[in-house]
Structure 1
Amino acid sequence: MAPLLFVTGASSGIGQALAWRYYQAGYSLALVARRTEEMQAWAHKQGLDPLRYQIYSADVAVVESIVAATEQCVQTQGVPDVVIANAGVSIGMDSAVRGDLDVMSRTFAINNVGLAATFHAFIDPMVRRGSGALVGIGSVAAIRGLPGHGAYCASKAAVVAYCESLRGELRDSGVQVVTICPGYIDTPLTRHNRYSMPFLMQADVFADKAFATITAGDSYRVIPWQMGVVAKALRLLPNWLYDKVLSGRPRKKRITEA
């Protein structure tokens, strides 16, 4: 029987690229997103074997919705070998604007609570089996806050801390917890950014490197590695200098501008 990948946010971008990379490696797929029509159209276009994939509709921001999809996967396809909690949003915010507090709340609902809910149903059966990989997609933006990106940076920092906590909880269980922090990847999420994106990487190249990282059982990786070096260098700057460097930098579009 082919190994199984469960991936959220599979209707576009990184999630779709990861799904294709794993399919090419012989995996069956559990594809999860709200936009099921787009996933089905993509599967048809790629010529996926209908016996090797299932599509599940779920809103990761709603706990019961994503939990229902995970439970349906277990019943239909079995316990996955790899689970990638990839679904995420990146929207600029201004805490002085009341509506942007709702943006922050939804960002955390998707990027953090949704990630934990994605893993929830798989943890116990993976532990009983003694194998499996739970993969959280963070971001290089987790390493230091960016003006206008408060919701996104904070949520991705929380992804890193959560996965580290979970890794400690599952130590010696046979279940790996992997944190991958992408830099700038060419996806619909980044194409409307109004600032420079150094070391921009194509989604399929990212998927190759992420696949290798997960297969190797690495616990944490920034992809591409150059962005990790840049982010850590920025982390070392004193606050006054960091603030000066970031002064005037274009900000992520807020929801009213998107």
Structure 2
Amino acid sequence: MAPSRMKPQDGVAWVTGASSGIGAAVALELARRGWSVAVTARRVDALEALAREADGLPGRIVAHAGDVTNARAMRTIVETIEAIHGPLALAFLNAGVAPRQRAESAISGEAVTEAVAVNLVGAANSLSAALPGMTQRQRGQLAVNASLVGYRGLPGAAVYGASKAAAIHLCESLRFDCDRAGIRLQIVNPGFVDTPMTRRNRFAMPFLMTVGEGARRIVDGFERGGFEIAFPRRLVWPMKVLRLLPYPLYFALMSRLAASGGRGG
């Protein structure tokens, strides 16, 4: 029997990386659909402003500030959420960074360390905080935000893409354990969404969508179930095809694309 899809009456939702962008928009969308949502990020002022923005919605948002790179802090936040608001039913582990690269370097150890610390280790810290209670209850729903750029190595995306590819691999592997524990685990692979992070990009972003539309598609995916929530389809399917190409053809195609000005983000 497949793990259940969680509903607002099952408990509280938790969203990390909720100070802006996709995390903030998903928290608001969940509150619109009746969820009580605990939000986490380092900036408590941004979280409190988000909570005020949810006033008047069917659900509500409450702030629990913390840094996902701190495993102990994540455990304490989940314990606090459950003690105050009830059992954790749904978690969207969204916290992420796209470190800036120096123009003269395609890669740096500092950038890799930062990306992995937040995008991979941060997700693992949050998963390890949420899993014990869900495992004990034999129910729950977890979703990790990765990216379509994690499908395969793209020009200009060595650091960010590697951290997101690792997050995808992590969830693919954990899916078996979560299924046995009655927990639904999902991976979210968006294309380009208009957020403060993507606005720094200096290349064309095909099929760019608003953050509100992205949030609706993500929450629809929570309700629909299935392992992967990926969008938009016009970008998802070409990216899936690229994963199937042999290296000589793939590198020739992507080199031509890079020469014409396209880059991964």
Same fold flag (TM > 0.5): yes
Determine the C-alpha separation between the residues in 2 that align with 1:98 and 1:245: 18
Query: CA-to-partner distance for each residue in 1:138-158, whole Å, 9 max, x for gaps?
Result: 100011112332111111111
Determine the C-alpha separation between the residues in 2 that align with 1:221 and 1:53: 23
Residue ranges of structure 1 left out of the alignment (5+ in a row): 254-258
Matched residue, 1:204: 212
Determine the C-alpha separation between the residues in 2 that align with 1:98 and 1:240: 17
How many angstroms does 1:48 deviate by?
Answer: 5.4
Count of paired positions: 252
Matched residue, 1:90: 98
Counting aligned pairs with the same residue, the percent is: 32
Query: CA-to-partner distance for each residue in 1:189-235, whole Å, 9 max, x for gaps?
Result: 11121111111111111111111111122111211122111212333
Matches within 5 A, 1:94-243: 100-237=108-245, 238-243=249-254
Change (3 A) 1:76 1:141: same
Determine the C-alpha separation between the residues in 1 that align with 2:192 and 2:13: 24
Matched residue, 2:26: 18
Q: Is the 8 A contact 1:92 1:251 kept in 2?
A: no
Matched residue, 2:5: none
Determine the C-alpha separation between the residues in 1 that align with 2:224 and 2:241: 26
How many angstroms does 1:97 deviate by?
Answer: 5.0
How many angstroms does 1:107 deviate by?
Answer: 0.7
How many angstroms does 1:186 deviate by?
Answer: 0.8
Matched residue, 1:27: 35
Change (3 A) 1:120 1:182: same
How large is the Cα RMSD of the aligned pairs? 2.4
- 1:70 pairs with one of 75, 78, 85: 78
Q: Is the 8 A contact 1:194 1:251 kept in 2?
A: no
Query: CA-to-partner distance for each residue in 1:156-186, whole Å, 9 max, x for gaps?
Result: 1111110111111122322100011000001
Determine the C-alpha separation between the residues in 1 that align with 2:152 and 2:100: 15
Determine the C-alpha separation between the residues in 1 that align with 2:48 and 2:164: 29
Q: Is the 8 A contact 2:204 2:262 kept in 1?
A: no
Residue ranges of structure 2 left out of the alignment (5+ in a row): 1-7
Matched residue, 1:256: none
TM-score by length of 1: 0.89
- 1:59 pairs with one of 42, 64, 67: 67
2:255 pairs with 1:247 = no
TM-score by length of 2: 0.86
Secondary structure of 1:5's counterpart equals: strand
